[in-house]
Amino acid sequence: RKEVEQDPGPFNVPEGATVAFNCTYSNSASQSFFWYRQDCRKEPKLLMSVYSSGNEDGRFTAQLNRASQYISLLIRDSKLSDSATYLCVVNSKGNFNKFYFGSGTKLNVKP
């Protein structure tokens, strides 16, 4: 089983739509959670960290559900510029100072 799993999509949505992505992780000891954005094989860039209480940054909201071992990303009022691949990232504490990336969910926002 993969450490982190995401629906690859693509999610094709019109401008202004609300879209949500989920990501599941397998290691219950995971400590840190992130969403990154990647444009067309360029370098990934941090979108937001995910905190236990959930957090919001403008149109973006991230949630963590430890009991079910998933994190989510909600994008409201989608813009054309939101078109990208969204990567879920998890790391584990202790012996595993490693980062695990999901394979990404592709979002296409259309006019």
Partner 1 sequence: EAQVTQNPRYLITVTGKKLTVTCSQNMNHEYMSWYRQDPGLGLRQIYYSMNVEVTDKGDVPEGYKVSRKEKRNFPLILESPSPNQTSLYFCASSPEYQETQYFGPGTRLLVL
Which residues would be at the binding site for partner 1 (CB under 8 A)? 4, 8, 31-32, 34, 41-46, 49, 87, 91, 93, 97-104
Compare residues 44 and 63 and give the one whose CB is closer to partner 1: 44
Say how far residue 43 (Cα) sits from the centre of its chain.
Answer: 15
Distances (CA, A) of 62 to 52, 96, 97, 110: 10, 24, 23, 23
Contact yes or no for 97/34 (Cβ under 8 A): no
Least distance CB 95 / partner 1 (angstroms): 9
Least distance CB 72 / partner 1 (angstroms): 18
Contact yes or no for 110/13 (Cβ under 8 A): yes
Compare residues 20 and 46 and give the one whose CB is closer to partner 1: 46
Compare residues 83 and 104 and give the one whose CB is closer to partner 1: 104
